[in-house]
Structure formats: C-alpha cells, structure tokens
Structure 1
Amino acid sequence: MSITSEERHAEIMDTAIKLFRKKNYHGTSMQDIAEAVGIYRGSLYHYINSKEEILYRIVERPVSKGYESLRKIQLEENLPPVEKLRQAMKYHVRYSMEHQAVVAIMLEDTKHLSEECQKQIREAQKRYEETFFNIIKEGIQKGDFKNLDPQIVTFAIFGMTNWMYRWFDVDGKLSSDEVAELFLDMILNGLLVE
C-alpha cells in the first residue's frame, strides 16, 4: 500500500518534531529525519525544501490555527467576557498540553529561523495574543473586569501558561481543563469587579 504525499509530509513533520525535541534543532540533520522516516535524504526534498522550512511549518501552523479558533471565541456575541476568557484559556491550555513538543519547539527554537521567518512568527503570535487582550478589554469596557491594563493581564496569562510544557504531566492528577480553570480562577480573582 503506497502512502500519499500528504501522509508522507505529515510523517516528516511528526518525525521532525520528535527529533527536534530529542536532539534539538541544531542536533538534528536532514539525514536524521530521512532515516527516521525511512526514505532517502534526496527523497525528503520532494516534500520539503529545508530544515528551516520544517521548523517554520511546525511553529506557524498551530499559531495560525489557534488564532482562528480564539478569534471565533472572541467574536461570539452571545458570550459574556468571563465565558470568552474561560473558553480561550481552556483552548490555549488544552492545545499546549496536547502538543507539548510543538510548544517547546515554538518557545525554544524559533530563534533559529531567518529574521524574515521570525518576523512572520512574531506577527502571528501577536495576533494570537491580541485575542486575549481584546477579550479582557471588552470585559473592562462592559464593567465585568477591573480597570487593569489589558496588556499586562495578557502578559500575565502567557507568563503563567507558556512554560507548562516543562512541568505538566498528562498522566498527572489534573487534566488540562482543570489546570485552565485553576489559572482562570487566579486571573479572575484579580480581574473581576466585586
């Protein structure tokens, strides 16, 4: 049974994620990826142009997809800001925990991209973070949240969540949703108007 081009591409990306986490970006060669996939190195270039392209795709896809998901939550007119923030936190934490290797690569290896690729990733990350900023700003404008600087609150949220991949245990006593609720409680205790 032959494998489709899309399936092979996905296999290459999944393999690269595992190798980048195990050996880091610089410690992984295109030969390593090809061998792990079970193809010749030359065949690898049929699916991908460079190791940098692999890294860029690993990082860019979840940020863009995440932005689309968070934007839908942000624009949901029937949800109060507290519920929007709850759903956004759950989405963010759940993704971070289900894709710990991707998050680690995003936070640790993006520096290895070209300046242009780094700029594109920073712009995508900014859009992603702005969804939280806008939800918090909406809550302040509606009188649901205290009049705190929404940028600082957004930074606090990402400061709490960005490094979870280092300590969160998927088999631990708390699920990703429970951790998201715990974080949300901490944020809301400082944010909600009493």
Structure 2
Amino acid sequence: MARRPAGTPHRWASNEREARELEAAWAGVVETETARRLMVAGVLAFAAKGYHATTTRDIAEHAGLSPGGLYVHFRSKEELLYRIAVLGTRQTLERVREAVAEAPDDPEARLGAAILALVERGARYHTTSRVIEDELRSLDGAHRAEVAGLRREIEHTVRAILEDGVRRGVFEVADVPVTALAALSLVVDVARWYRVSGRRSPAEVGALYAELVGRMVRPTS
C-alpha cells in the first residue's frame, strides 16, 4: 500500500488511487511538480470539506508545503479550483473527441464511443469530476464561463452525433437537445455513485452506459 504523505488527513486516504492517477494525467501538462501536487491536494480537500470550508493551509499542508506555499504557484484558492476545473474538463473534451474520431463512421458507433469515454473518465476520476460539478458555482464569472464553454463543447459533440443519426434514419429522437442533455445527465451522475471497490471497472461501466444510451435513441419499431 502506498504511504500517505506526511500531514495527509486519514479521511482523504480512500482517494489515494485517484491522486496517483491525477499525478500521471497531469504530468507534463501542469508546469511544475509542486503545482501539480497542490492541484491534487486541492481535489482531495475540496472533496472532503467543500470549497468554502477548505483553507489554503489545508491544501498546502497536504502537498507537504508551508502554510503559505500555495501562493507561490497560484494567486488564490479560487485560481487553484479554476485550474482543476478547466484542465479536468478540457482533458475530458479531448478524450471524447479522440474517441469519436477513432470510431467507425457510423452514428451508433460514434455515440457509443463518446458515452463510453465520458463515463470511463467520470468513473476513473470520480472525485475530481464531483468536485468540478459541485464547485463550479464557486468560480468567478470569467473562469466559470470558460469551464461552461468547454462543457457546451462536449454537449455539442453528443448533439451532433444524434443529429447525424436522425438524418441517416439510424436514431429515432423527437427532441435532440433534450435527449443530449438526458444522456449527459446520466453520465454526470456516475461520479456521484462510482467507487473503486465496486464490482465493475470504469471501462465496464462505460460500456454499460453506452448500451443504455444507445437503447434510448434506437427506433422502437
């Protein structure tokens, strides 16, 4: 078992696996190792205590820094949350686009690939996804708008696949925008219930959800 860093509260220990995966996912993307440690610490702290109850001291101590260490790399706690939210959302968008591009030129295959990618990331990084979802309102206006724009790009990707499927006669959808939102609502909820101790892996949950969403849009006759 990995040893917790000095000063890590025991209540955060269950998220150590995700912390390691975040370290790997953000390596080479976040400019310094220390900034990356602070972002991971921020995810764990915000998940455990909520954004407003978390202090910069909490985050810095978890990252193994002095109480004021956060301010060397981030102007504020809000900027740290923004960096977590914008990077996490951008990487999700990139993964979805990549999955859709790799899928065959078939609406069913492309929709399945998009949903699988979304769910797999939502399950694998469930703590991060939950923090982004719960704390988006804590960002200032410009930062919140930037993250919301990335989320709309994800929605537009799913909507475009549905529209293509309707045009080709593959999908039967009365209202494409509402159906896209319904599918994405299912996806977002995965982060709230998924646990690494469960019986299904992120990929298995993704495949199941891809099948469920596919059933939603296939012709009934």
SS in 2 for 1:41: coil
CA distance in 2, matches of 1:22, 1:190: 35
Q: Which residue of 2 aligns with 1:107?
A: 133
Deviation at residue 52 of structure 1 after TM alignment: 0.4
- Does structure 1 conserve the Cα–Cα contact (< 8 Å) formed by 2:104 and 2:110? no
Which one is further off, 69-78 or 47-56? 69-78
Indicate how the Cα distance of structure 1 residues 172 and 104 shifts in structure 2: closer, same or farther if over 3 A, else same. Answer: same
What is the identity percentage for the equivalent residue pairs of Structure 1 and Structure 2? 25
What residue is the counterpart of 1:34 in the other structure?
A: 60
* 1:75 CA displacement: 4.5
Deviates more, 1:131-140 or 1:141-150: 141-150
Q: Shift of residue 20 of structure 1? A: 0.7
1:184 to 2:205 alignment = no
Is 1:168 the equivalent of 2:194?
A: yes
2:63 maps to a residue whose letter is V
What's the counterpart of residue 121 of structure 1?
147
TM-score relative to the length of structure 2:
0.79
Count of equivalent residues: 190
Q: For 1:37-186, what aligned pairs fall within 5 Å after superposition?
A: 37-75=63-101, 78-186=104-212
Which residue identity does 1:38 align to in structure 2? G
1:67 & 1:164 partners in 2: Cα distance?
17
Residues 75-122 of structure 1, C-alpha deviations (whole Å, 9 max, x = no match)? 458431111111111110110011111111111111111122111111
Residue 52 of structure 2 corresponds to residue 6 of structure 1: no
Structure 2 gaps of 5+ residues are 1-30
Please state whether the residue corresponding to 1:94 is helix, strand or coil.
helix
How far off its partner does 1:144 sit? 1.0
Letter in 2 for 1:52: E
Single out whichever of 103-112 and 142-151 deviates more from structure 2. 142-151
CA distance in structure 1 between the partners assigned to 2:68 and 2:207 by the alignment: 48
Q: Which runs of 4+ in 1 moved over 3 A?
A: 72-78
Gap regions ≥5 residues in structure 1? none
Q: Which amino acid aligns with 2:57?
A: Q
Query: Which of 1 and 2 has higher RCO (CA within 8 Å, sep 6+)?
Result: 1
CA distance in 1, matches of 2:38, 2:143: 20
Q: Aligned equivalents of 1:171 and 1:43: distance in 2?
A: 34
Determine the C-alpha separation between the residues in 1 that align with 2:58 and 2:102: 45
Alpha-carbon distance change, 43 to 175 in structure 1, aligned in 2, over 3 angstroms: closer
Whether the 8 Å contact between 1:30 and 1:51 is mirrored in structure 2 is yes
Q: Deviations over 1:36-59 (max 9, x none)?
A: 222223332221111001101111
